[in-house]
Structure 1
Amino acid sequence: MDYRLTPTVVPAAPFDASADAQALRAAMKGFGTDEEEIINLLTARSNAQRQQIKARFETEFGRDLIDDLKSELSGKFEDVIVALMMPPIEYLCKQLHKAMAGMGTDEDTLVEILCTKTNEEMREIVAAYEAKYDRPLAEQMCSETSGFFRRLLTLIVTGVRDPVGTVDPNKAREDAEALYAAGEGQLGTDEGVFNRIMSHSSFAQLRLIFDEYKELSGQTIEQAIKHEMSGSLHDAMIAIVECVQSPATFFANRLYQAMDGAGTNDATLIRIIVSRSEIDLGTIKDEFERIYNRTLYSAVKSETSGDYKRALCAILGGV
C-alpha cells in the first residue's frame, strides 16, 4: 500500500542555532513579548533543530528556554509552544501520563497514542516512559483500565506485534476465519481472539486479514467490530483498523471530532497537529479536505483564536 508521508514542518536550511537562540531571547526580553517572532521561528524549525536551539540558549544565557517561554506565555498558546519544544517521544509520554493521572482515565488519548504505533515506536515510548516516571507504562495502564480493553492495550504495550512488513498470506486466511468464528460465526463474542490477532499481526498482515475477512463473510471488519463490541474496546479496535488502512484518515477523523459540536477539544487538536507535523500532517490535511469538503486550515482557523490560532495555522502551513 502506497502511503505518502507529507510533513508540514521540515528542517530549516540554512540553520544557525546561536542566531535563533538570540532572536528568542530578544523576543522575550524587556517589556512585552514578541509572540509573532516566537511563532515564526519555532514553527519553521524541526524538533531536532529546536533541541539545538534550547541547548544553545542555555549555554549562551544560562537559562532554560522552556522555563522562559512558560513565564512569558499563557493558556493554549503556551501549550502549543511547549509541545513544540519537547522531544516527540517525551511529549507522547507526557500525554499518556496526563491521560491516566487523577480521577478517571482519558481512554480516547490512550487509544490514539497506543493503537497507532508500530512495535518499534512502542518500544521507544515504553523505555522513555519508565525513564521519565520511574514506573512501567504497562503497570500504570493496568491500574487505570479494565477488562478486554486493558488486555488489548497491555499486549500492544508489551510489544507482541510482529515487525513492520511481516506478511504471511496463508496465515491471513486462517486468522480471518478465526475472527469470523469468534464473532459473527457464533452467539456472543470471543474478544480474546480479536485481541490476539489485532495486537500480534503487523499492520501489513492485518491488511491481508481484513481483505480475507471481507471475502469470507461479505462484511468489512469494521462492520463486524461495530456489531460485536462496544465502549473503549470497540474504539481501540476501530482505531487499529483505520490506522492499518490509512493513518491519515484516522487522524483526520480525530481532528474533525475535536472541533465538532459545542466547544473544541484543544488538547487533542494540539497533540495531533504537533506530533504529526514532521510525519504526515500534510497527508492528513489532504484527507481532511477529501472527507469533509473543507480545509483543515479553515476549520482550525474558525475554531481557535489569537496567538493560539496563529501558532496552529503556522504549523499547518496555510491552505
Structure 2
Amino acid sequence: MTLWCGDYGEYVKEIPTLMAAEEFDPVADAKALRKAMKGFGTDEEAIINILCKRSSIQRQAITEMYYKKELGRDLIADLKSELSGNFEDLILGLMTPRNKYLAQHLYKAIKGIGTSEDVLVEILFSCPYEEIVNVAAAYESMFGNPLIQDIKQDTSGSFKRLLLTNLKKSGDSVVDCGENSYLSAKAQEEAHILYKAGEGQIGTDEKAFVNILGYAAQRRRQTSAIFQEYTQISGKTIEQALKSEMSGDILNGLLDIVKIIRNQPAYFAERLELAMKGFGTNDDALIRIIVSRCEIDLANIKVEYERIYHKTLRSSVEDETSGDYRRALLTLVGPPSVNNEVPAPLFFL
C-alpha cells in the first residue's frame, strides 16, 4: 500500500514490521499454544514467538484450529485465564480482528471517563474511508448503536461536525487522482475559502474549515495542496492560521489532521513519544498504536521516530516497559537499524 506524504510531496510505500510467516502450520501453532498454557505455569516466550510473529489472518486461522483440535477450547478464553496486565492487553489486541479492535478503541474513547478526542481523530483520520466504513459496521454490531449516533451524543460543536463530516463520502475524492492542473485550481479555490473564513474577516467561520478539512483523510494529496496554496495566499502556514483563529477541541483536532496529512508516520511517532515521555507510560496508547500499525507502516514510523527524536523506538520501549510485555512489544517493533544508523527519511516508490 502507498500513502501520500505532504512533507515530501510523494506517495510513499507503507512498510510493516510484522508480516505473515512464510512457513505456517496453524495446527502446529495451536498445539504449541495449548502446550504453553496447559498444566502448571505458562510459557510466555512460546506465546510471544507464535502470536507476535504471525499475521492477523494467520492468528485467526490458529484460533479456529485451536477450537477444532483442542475439543472445543476457546483460545481467547485460555489466553485471558493465563495472562495478565499489559501483556494480556497486548496479546488480546493482536488476537482481535483489526476492524473490531479499532471499534473497541473508538467505543472506549467515546464511552469511557470523559471523551478522548485525540483518539477519535487518530483512528478516524488515519484510516482510509473504506476501512472506516468497516470499522463503523463492526462498532454497531459489537455495541448496538451506530457510531454516528454515539459521536453525536458524546461530542459537540464544531468538533462534532468535523468527525461527522469525516464519516461521509466525499464527492471530491476523485481530485486526488485527477490532473495536476485541476488539482491546483481546486486547491487554490479552497485555500481562498479558508482564508476568507479566518484571517480574511473579523471572527472565524469554523464551518468552512470543517467542510474542507473534514474530508482530509479522503483527499490527502488535495488537502496537502490546499496547505501550500494557503501559505502562498496568507504568508502563514495553515498551522499558524488555525492557532490564531481557534481554540479547544476543534483546534487540537484540526492540528492533528494537518500532522496526519503532512506526514502520517511522523504523527504516529509523536504519539508514541507522548505515550512514553515524562512520568509514567500511557500503555493504552502504546499498545493501540503498535498493535494497529505493525502490519501497516510501523517500519515507516520507526524511521520518523529516529529522525525526530534521535533515538530508536526500540530503545524507548526498552526503557519504559519490562518483562513479557516488553519482549512482546519489541518483537512487534522489530530489530534496530543496522549499526544504529538513522535510515533515510521515508520509503519512496
Shorter-chain TM-score tier: over 0.9
8 A contact 1:3–1:246 mirrored in 2: no
Letter in 1 for 2:93: A
Indicate whether 1:14 and 2:23 are aligned: yes
Residue of structure 2 equivalent to 1:259: 276
Return the match for 2:152 from 142, 148, 162: 142
Separation of aligned partners in 1, 2:143 and 2:149: 12
Return the match for 1:36 from 23, 32, 45: 45
Offset of residue 223 of structure 1: 1.4
8 A contact 1:173–1:209 mirrored in 2: yes
Separation of aligned partners in 1, 2:256 and 2:171: 16
Separation of aligned partners in 2, 1:245 and 1:105: 26
SS at match of 2:165: helix
SS at match of 1:185: coil
Deviates more, 1:3-12 or 1:73-82: 3-12
Separation of aligned partners in 1, 2:75 and 2:248: 42
Separation of aligned partners in 2, 1:234 and 1:12: 43
Quote the sequence identity (%). 51
Deviates more, 1:306-315 or 1:163-172: 163-172
Residue of structure 2 equivalent to 1:271: 288
Write the mapping of 1:270-309 to structure 2, written as runs, cut at 5 A. Answer: 270-309=287-326
Indicate whether 1:80 and 2:97 are aligned: no
8 A contact 1:248–1:284 mirrored in 2: yes
Offset of residue 166 of structure 1: 4.3
Write the mapping of 1:119-138 to structure 2, written as runs, cut at 5 A. Answer: 119-138=129-148
8 A contact 1:96–1:109 mirrored in 2: yes
Residue of structure 1 equivalent to 2:110: 100
Separation of aligned partners in 1, 2:305 and 2:49: 25
Cα distance change, pair 192–276 in 1 and its aligned pair in 2 (3 A): same
- Normalised to the residue count of structure 2, the TM-score between the two structures is 0.89
Deviates more, 1:86-95 or 1:211-220: 211-220
Stretches (4+) displaced over 4 A: none
Separation of aligned partners in 2, 1:40 and 1:187: 60
Separation of aligned partners in 1, 2:22 and 2:287: 26
Which consecutive residues of structure 2, in runs of 5 or more, have no partner in the other structure? 1-9, 337-349
Separation of aligned partners in 1, 2:229 and 2:46: 53
Separation of aligned partners in 2, 1:181 and 1:284: 36
Indicate whether 1:195 and 2:210 are aligned: yes
Residue of structure 2 equivalent to 1:181: 196
Indicate whether 1:169 and 2:184 are aligned: yes
Letter in 2 for 1:18: V
Write the mapping of 1:166-245 to structure 2, written as runs, cut at 5 A. Answer: 166-167=177-178, 168-200=183-215, 202-245=219-262
Offset of residue 82 of structure 1: 0.2
Separation of aligned partners in 2, 1:22 and 1:230: 55
Listed one character per residue, the Cα deviations across residues 120-146 of structure 1 (whole Å, up to 9, x for unaligned) are 222111122112222110100111111
Offset of residue 292 of structure 1: 0.3
Residue of structure 1 equivalent to 2:77: 67
Which consecutive residues of structure 1, in runs of 5 or more, have no partner in the other structure? none
Separation of aligned partners in 1, 2:123 and 2:206: 21
Indicate whether 1:112 and 2:122 are aligned: yes
Separation of aligned partners in 2, 1:159 and 1:135: 20
Offset of residue 26 of structure 1: 0.5
Offset of residue 4 of structure 1: 2.6
Listed one character per residue, the Cα deviations across residues 141-192 of structure 1 (whole Å, up to 9, x for unaligned) are 1111111001100111233474373453211101001111111222221110
SS at match of 1:314: helix
